[in-house]
Amino acid sequence: MAQFPGLSLTLQGNKMILKSATGRADDRLIITKAVIGDGQLTKSIDSLTSLVNPKLEIGLSNVKEVTNGQMQLQFNFDNKKVETGFYWREVGIYGKNGDSGQEKLIGYSNASGLTSYIPDKTNAIPMQRLLIALGVGDNPNVKGLIDLSTAVTREQLDESIKAHNSATNAHQDAFNKKLDISSNQYAKSIVKHNQGLQVTKGDNSQEVINFITSNYNDSDINKVLNLGTLKGLLGQGAIVASKLDSVNGYVKFVNGFIVQWGITQSDPGAGGATFNFPISFKTTNYIAIANGDQSVVNLSGIATWSNAPNYMTIDNTDSRYIGKYRVIAMGV
């Protein structure tokens, strides 16, 4: 692409910018188009009213406000309308004061020998992007007249999609049309309340949705459940701790009920064997059943003692038995 020095304002361009500073709509500076050509500059830019040898008009594609009192103008073009190829050497920006104003050359730049060749339309080129910075100071009465017929570059499309995806209100209009946000069917806000959740509706009316309590019943269809109550309701049958081991293990439920099992040390034949529970019961009010680990003698006379919350004793009336016992116990 041709390499241009900075844009220089023409005399009439300076006057048009000054006129727009009044702030009146009829004086607003409207950027309309760019024109490129192959002319050699032989006189002062101040006095120019048109390009030396214009070849192609380009509609304005995009305008960005940048820092330091500058506008960035973007022009997209290809060579579909170029009948004869040319060396792109000059570029000019056109505008007008007010909607009914006369279109005039505002700024101009010439690449001199740093040109690039634009072939005719039979040798198609990809879409080109021309960026021009126009200094307007702190004048807010300047705008660009976007030509919607100009093609959009891939970069421009990607930028627009990125801006859309990051916008929190990208579909707000469509959302508002779909929902009547002024009705009492629309929830504007939901906040915590000491009795439940407080809902502010679209018509600014408020309603408190009460918490479900531990006295829950099937008619509480219009109440909300908090985490504590949920845990309690689920906990009526929920396991809160367990050790699923084949030798010594247990299952504990949230209401305190425990089932645990294990294998004792060997019965020495006198005095019985002691079984230490994997976890302690709260009291000695538990039930335990034991069976011999070996079929050496008749074990119909096994006895168990609830000695303490954390252990128990098992013995057999036949003192000949020397072996281990398998135990299962249930309690709180």
What per-residue confidence (pLDDT) applies to 54? 94
What per-residue confidence (pLDDT) applies to 155? 65
> Could you tell me the residue ranges of all domains in the chain?
8-166, 187-233, 239-331
What per-residue confidence (pLDDT) applies to 206? 85
- For 197, the token pair is 């959740």
pLDDT over 90 at 59, yes or no: no
Q: How far is CA 226 from CA 48, 184, 196, 231, in A?
A: 77, 25, 8, 9
Considering the domain 239-331, what is its CATH architecture? Answer: Sandwich (2.60)
**227 phi and psi angles, rounded to 5 deg:** -65, -40
Distance CA 14, CA 11 (A): 5
Least confident stretch, 56-65, 76-85, 213-222, 282-291: 213-222
Mean pLDDT (the chain, rounded)? 78
pLDDT over 50 at 144, yes or no: no
304 sits in which H/E element? strand 302-308
Which residues are paired to 95 by β-bridges?
Answer: 31, 104
What per-residue confidence (pLDDT) applies to 83? 93
pLDDT over 50 at 39, yes or no: yes
The stretch 85-103 carries a mean pLDDT of 90
Which residues are paired to 198 by β-bridges?
Answer: 191, 208
Question: Sign of the CA dihedral 176, 177, 180, 185?
Answer: negative
Percent of the chain with pLDDT over 90: 12
pTM: 0.44
The stretch 216-228 carries a mean pLDDT of 58
pLDDT in tens, 258-277: 999 998 887 776 667 888 99
